[in-house]
Structure 1
Amino acid sequence: MKRLLLSYPLSVNTPVYKDNPPVVIQQQASIAQGDPYNQFVITSLNHNGTHIDAPWHFNPQGKKISEIAIEDFIFTHPVIIDIPKSDDELITKADLQPFEHQIAGADLLLIRTGFGTIRSSEPERYANHNPGLSESAARYLMIFDSLRAIGIDMISAGAANYPDEAVAFHQIILGKDRVDGKYILVIEDLNLDQDLTDISTVYAIPLYIEGVDSSFATVFTED
């Protein structure tokens, strides 16, 4: 059985979206300094690094991350599509429509833009000029009954320099104002720069934290 890690380790070098505070990791106890154990204090916004946006992030009536059942983070029909995008470009309904037959029946859609390849070499560009999904893309994706999550190789599904589109995308995809309760989870800052041709199952396991909208996640494949 082969497994591939799709999430990034959280570190002090993790790129952060726009003006979000960086990750801080401080050693609180050290064996090397005479303590009997090693121990750390980690301070981070819950949207730093690979994480899952739950509905409450943009939907005041939506579920918080700890209110979602664990089985809802396991995907057995993942599909990956390539939509190359560069700085500040939007993914629209028109970009997604050629993949309609692949998206139909998928429970997880992974969108690979190629922008993730600059994450370590150009972190400021990655954080401040990311492509993003548009309002039209959100409305289109919501028509697929089986689709429960999307994942992207960008720091955010919302383009940093298109804030109105970013808000509209998140509100729609996370189910704001939906009377039927439908929403699609958003998994951001994924490492999709690898061969994912034969993936059959994806686990996107959040850190369950009570009272918050979203959380860090470890994401891996199995085939």
Structure 2
Amino acid sequence: MSGRPADTPEEWPVSSSTAPFTGHKTGVRTDRVVMPDGSVHGRDYQTHPGSVAVLALDGDGRVVVLRQYRHPVRHRLWELPAGLLDVPGENPLHAAQRELYEEAHVKAEDWRVLTDVYTSPGGSDEAVRVFLARELSAAEGERYEAMEEEADMELARVPLDALVRGVLAGELHNGILALGVLALHAVLTGEPDGPRGGAGEGALRPAQAPWPARPYPA
């Protein structure tokens, strides 16, 4: 292969589709997919509205993180501020700004797209856009009243290099946190014109960059 690899959209025929479970936010769908050889096989997967996450970096090189209990894995995990795209067609930047305000009571002046990802494409259609937010300051107004697991969240600011070391040491397990901090480390240490073609600041996309996985009005 020459050049930079890129994923490509493709859709195999579906002979039938059912939704055996539909929850408040997510559901389960079973598709009968026609394979290239003509055979048909069932594929079960979680349907998901999509999510946004925010890597908020302050002027001292620290990242805003939250520690929250996650029942499915029986762990209290360090994570980035994040949330669902609750409103169909919602602008992901606006959703990210809302989540940063609600979960950390922080606002940011500089926003960029850090990366886009499918979290578990073998079993879910969840798509997540991770933003990089900089030039932070305290948000105005009253703090958002957290509920359920969020009411027990712990808020901290941790140096980026400590998070990178934690991910590589197997001490931090949230996938979006790991993706975000390693992507930002690549950006900040990259040399776009160097022999290894690092990332660098120029690799960052504008905050309103198109997102084919979750299209939204311009």
TM-score, normalised on structure 2? Answer: 0.22
Q: Which one has a bigger Cα radius of gyration?
A: 2
TM-score, normalised on structure 1? Answer: 0.22
Higher strand proportion (structure 1 or 2): 2
Higher RCO (Cα < 8 Å, 6 or more apart): 1
